[in-house]
C-alpha cells in the first residue's frame, strides 16, 4: 500500500554508507560555475540515497519498485535494451513492506525508528471489470479543485496544500492485460500523516495501514465525477440537459459558487445511483477487498528472514555492528553484488 517515500535517516554512519562498494555516490558539478555540489547521490534499485554536507541522509523513491527490483519482477512492457524505470503495477502487501524495512535497516545499519518519513504515498491498484479510462474521463473535481490530466488523459491528479490525490490508468502505463486503476494519496505535510499514526518506519503495522486505507477512501469518496454509464433513454429532456451541464467540470468551478454546489451534486449523485453502473462504488468496493488482502500479516513475516542472496545485500547484523570488520566484509562478500545495482 506504500509506494513513494522520502525518508530522513537520523544519526546513521555516513562513512560506513560511503564505504559500501555497490553504492556509487556521485557529486554533481554545476555546468555553469564548475562548482561541486554539497551533496552526494547514489542510485539503488530505482531509488536515491542522498548524503548532504551536513551528513543528513535522505532516501527517496518508490519502495514498491524497489522491492520488485530486488525480487527481479519486471513490468509486462519491459525491454532489455530499452529505458526502464521500474515496475509498481502489481500488489504490494504489508509483508513485502516489512521486508523492505528489514532491508533498509540492514543497508543503513540502523533501527526503524531512525527512519523518519518526510513524504509518503498510500495507494491501491484496483482491478475493475471495466476500462479505467471510463472512470478517469468522468473526473470533475475534488474539494473545489479541478483535476489535472496528463499522458493522453490516462493520468489525473488534484493538488491540495497537504496532499495530492492521483487517479490513473496503471494497465496502460505498463501494458498490463488486467484492467488496473491506481488510486493514490501522496502526503506532503507530516501533520496530515499523523492521522495514520505513522511517523517512522517503526510505526508501519496492520493497524496503521488500515488507518491509511481509511484516509485514502475518505479522499476517494470526496471525488465528484460524471458517470458515463448513465442510461439516458428513460430520462426526460430536462434531465438530459441537466446531465450535460453536470458533465462539464468548468460548470462546477466557474459557474457555481462553492455554497451553491450541494444541490446539483445531490442531483448528479441521484442520477448515478438510479441510472448508471456506479463505477465509483465498484472501485471503492474493490479497494476495500484489496486492502483486506494486502494488509493481512502472514505468520512468517512476524519474524522476517530475508534471503540476502536475492536482495543484493549479504551483510549479517553482527558484522554491521563491528566497525573494524566492515571494510573487509564489503570488499569480499559484497563486491559480487555490484553488478545487480540498477543505476539511472
Q: Judge whether 265 lies within some domain.
A: no
Q: How many domains does the chain have?
A: 1
> In sequence order, what DSSP letters do the residues of 315-344 get, joined into one string?
--HHHHT-HHHHHHHHHHTSGGGGGG----
Tell how strand 57-62 and strand 163-169 pair up.
Answer: unpaired
CA angle 300, 302, 304 (to 5 degrees): 70
> Do 184 and 166 contact (CB within 8 A), yes or no?
yes
**Full domain range(s) for residue 190:** 2-229+277-340
65: left (phi over 0), alpha (psi -120 to 50) or beta: alpha
Cell 532489455 sits at which residue?
A: 80
Position with higher pLDDT, 258 vs 316 = 258
Q: Judge whether 28 lies within some domain.
A: yes
Three-state DSSP at 95 gives helix
DSSP state letter for 79 = -
pLDDT (tens digit per residue) in 5-16: 999 999 999 999
Phi, psi of 117 (to 5 degrees): -75, 130
Angle of helix 63-70 relative to helix 94-108, nearest 10 degrees?
A: 80
> Do 90 and 1 contact (CB within 8 A), yes or no?
no
Three-state DSSP at 293 gives helix
Q: Judge whether 321 lies within some domain.
A: yes
Q: Judge whether 260 lies within some domain.
A: no
Confidence of residue 232 (pLDDT cuts 50, 70, 90): very high
Q: Judge whether 109 lies within some domain.
A: yes
Q: Judge whether 254 lies within some domain.
A: no
What is the separation of C-alpha 266 from the centre of its chain, rounded to a whole number of angstroms? 32
Phi, psi of 294 (to 5 degrees): -75, -20
Q: Judge whether 326 lies within some domain.
A: yes
pLDDT value of position 299: 59
> Do 5 and 120 contact (CB within 8 A), yes or no?
yes
Sorted by sequence, the CB contacts under 8 Å of residue 71 that are 6+ apart come out as 310
pLDDT (tens digit per residue) in 216-231: 999 999 999 999 999 9
Neighbours of 33 (CB within 10 A): 7
Q: Judge whether 61 lies within some domain.
A: yes
Cell 485514502 sits at which residue?
A: 216
Q: Which residues pair with 8 in a beta bridge?
A: 58, 116
CA angle 168, 277, 185 (to 5 degrees): 25
- Residue 286 grid coordinates: 474493490
Phi, psi of 7 (to 5 degrees): -115, 130
pTM (two decimals): 0.86
- pLDDT at position 249 over 90: yes
pLDDT (tens digit per residue) in 259-275: 999 999 999 999 999 99
- Residue 199 grid coordinates: 511517523
- pLDDT at position 297 over 50: yes
Q: Average pLDDT, whole number, for the chain?
A: 88
pLDDT value of position 31: 65
Amino acid at each position: 500500500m506504500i509506494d513513494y517515500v522520502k525518508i530522513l535517516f537520523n544519526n546513521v554512519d555516513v562513512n560506513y554508507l560511503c564505504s559500501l562498494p555497490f553504492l556509487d555516490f556521485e557529486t554533481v558539478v554545476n555546468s555553469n560555475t564548475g562548482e561541486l555540489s554539497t551533496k552526494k547521490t547514489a542510485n539503488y534499485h530505482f531509488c536515491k540515497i542522498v548524503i548532504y554536507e551536513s551528513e543528513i541522509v535522505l532516501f527517496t523513491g518508490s519502495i514498491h519498485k524497489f522491492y520488485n527490483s530486488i525480487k527481479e519482477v519486471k513490468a509486462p512492457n519491459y525491454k532489455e535494451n530499452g529505458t526502464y524505470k521500474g515496475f509498481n503495477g502489481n500488489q504490494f502487501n504489508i509483508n513485502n513492506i516489512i521486508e523492505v524495512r528489514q532491508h533498509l535497516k540492514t543497508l543503513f545499519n540502523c533501527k526503524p525508528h531512525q527512519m523518519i518519513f518526510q513524504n509518503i504515498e498510500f495507494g491501491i491498484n484496483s482491478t475493475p471489470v471495466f476500462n479505467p479510462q471510463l472512470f478517469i474521463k468522468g473526473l470533475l473535481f475534488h474539494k473545489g479543485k479541478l483535476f489535472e490530466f496528463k499522458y493522453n488523459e490516462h493520468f489525473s491528479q488534484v493538488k491540495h496544500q497537504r496532499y495530492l490525490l492521483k487517479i490513473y490508468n496503471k494497465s496502460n502505463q505498463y501494458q498490463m492485460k488486467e484492467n488496473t486503476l491506481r488510486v493514490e494519496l501522496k502526503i506532503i505535510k507530516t501533520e496530515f500523516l499523523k492521522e495514520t499514526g505513522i511517523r517512522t518506519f517503526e510505526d508501519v503495522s496492520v493497524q496503521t495501514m488500515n488507518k491509511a486505507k481509511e484516509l485514502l477512501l475518505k479522499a476517494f469518496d470526496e471525488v465528484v465525477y460524471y458517470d458515463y454509464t448513465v442510461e439516458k433513454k428513460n430520462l426526460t429532456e430536462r434531465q438530459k440537459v441537466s446531465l450535460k451541464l453536470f458533465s462539464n467540470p468548468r460548470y462546477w468551478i466557474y459557474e457555481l459558487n462553492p455554497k451553491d454546489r450541494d444541490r446539483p451534486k445531490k442531483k448528479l449523485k441521484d442520477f448515478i445511483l438510479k441510472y448508471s453502473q456506479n463505477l465509483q462504488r465498484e472501485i471503492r468496493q474493490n479497494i476495500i477487498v484489496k486492502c483486506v488482502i494486502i494488509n493481512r500479516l502472514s505468520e512468517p513475516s512476524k519474524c522476517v528472514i530475508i534471503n540476502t542472496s536475492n536482495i543484493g545485500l549479504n551483510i549479517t547484523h553482527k558484522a554491521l555492528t563491528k566497525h573494524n570488520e566492515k571494510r573487509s566484509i564489503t570488499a569480499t562478500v559484497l563486491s559480487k553484488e555490484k553488478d545487480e545495482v540498477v543505476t539511472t
